[in-house]
Amino acid sequence: MLIPELIERKRNGAELSPQELHGLLEAFQSGQLADYQMSAFLMAVYFQGLSRAELDTMTRAMIGSGTRLSFQDDGRPPAVDKHSTGGVGDKVSLVLAPLLAEYGLRVPMMSGRGLGHTGGTVDKLESIPGFRTGLDLDEFRSVLDEVGCAMIRQTPEIAPLDGRLYALRDVTATVESVPLIAASIISKKVAEGIEALVLDVKFGRGAFMTEPESALELARTLVELAGSEGLHATALLTAMDEPLGVKVGNALEVREALECLEGGGPADLREVTLELCADVAVAAGVATRGEAWESMAGILDDGGARERFGRLVVAQGGDQGTLDDPDGLPSAPERLTYESPVDGMVAAADARRIGLAALVLGAGRRHVEDDVDPAVGLEVLCRVGDVVERGQPLVMIHARSEEDAAAATSRVETAIEILDEPPEEPAPLVWKRVTEDGVTDWTPDDA
Ligand code: URA
Spatial separation of the C-alpha atoms in residues 363 and 278, rounded to whole Å: 31
Report the sign of the C-alpha dihedral through residues 69, 72, 77, 79, in that order: positive
Spatial separation of the C-alpha atoms in residues 117 and 130, rounded to whole Å: 26
Which residue puts its alpha carbon closest to atom 5 of ligand 1? Answer: 181
Mean pLDDT of the chain: 95
User: Which residues have a Cβ under 8 Å from the Cβ of 160 and sit 6 or more positions away?
Assistant: 65, 66
Mean pLDDT in residue range 28-40:
96
Q: Sheet containing 334-339: give its strands across.
A: 247-248, 377-380, 393-399, 334-339
Inform me whether the pLDDT recorded for 75 exceeds 90: no
CB distance 198 to ligand 1 below 6 Å: no
Inform me whether the pLDDT recorded for 73 exceeds 90: no
Kindly indicate the confidence band of residue 445, based on its pLDDT and cuts at 50, 70 and 90: low
Residue 447, pLDDT score: 57
Helix, strand, coil in percent for the chain, rounding step 5: 45, 15, 35
Which run of H or E residues covers position 387? strand 387-388
Kindly indicate the confidence band of residue 117, based on its pLDDT and cuts at 50, 70 and 90: confident
Q: From ligand 1's centre to the CA of 185, what distance in Å?
A: 5
Residue of 195, 176, 148 lying closest to 86 (CA atoms): 176
Spatial separation of the C-alpha atoms in residues 417 and 282, rounded to whole Å: 40
Beta carbons of 125 and 319 less than 8 angstroms apart? no
Residues 273, 274, 275: CA angle, nearest 5 degrees: 90
CB distance 185 to ligand 1 below 6 Å: yes
Each residue's pLDDT tens digit, 144-153: 999 999 999 9
Residue 370, pLDDT score: 82
Q: From ligand 1's centre to the CA of 42, what distance in Å?
A: 14
Residue 446, pLDDT score: 62
Q: Cα dist. 125→120, 269, 272, 293, 300 in Å?
A: 9, 17, 20, 25, 19
Mean pLDDT in residue range 410-415:
98
Inform me whether the pLDDT recorded for 436 exceeds 70: yes
Each residue's pLDDT tens digit, 277-325: 999 999 999 999 999 999 999 999 999 999 999 999 999 999 988 888 9
Q: Is 138 exposed, middle or buried (0-12, 13-18, 19+ CB in 10 A)?
A: exposed
Each residue's pLDDT tens digit, 162-183: 999 998 998 899 988 999 999 9
The residues carrying an active-site annotation are 83, 162, 169, 184, 188
Inform me whether the pLDDT recorded for 123 exceeds 70: yes
Residue 315, pLDDT score: 98
Beta carbons of 223 and 435 less than 8 angstroms apart? yes
Inform me whether the pLDDT recorded for 74 exceeds 80: no
Strand partners, 439: 434
* DSSP letter assigned to residue 444: G
Mean pLDDT in residue range 26-50:
97
Ligand 1 atom with minimal separation from the 181 CA: 6
Mean pLDDT in residue range 242-265:
98
* CB-CB neighbours of 19 under 10 Å: 10
Residue 444, pLDDT score: 65
- Residue 296's SS3 state is helix
Q: Cα dist. 331→178, 249, 348, 359 in Å?
A: 38, 10, 27, 16
Q: From ligand 1's centre to the CA of 254, what distance in Å?
A: 23
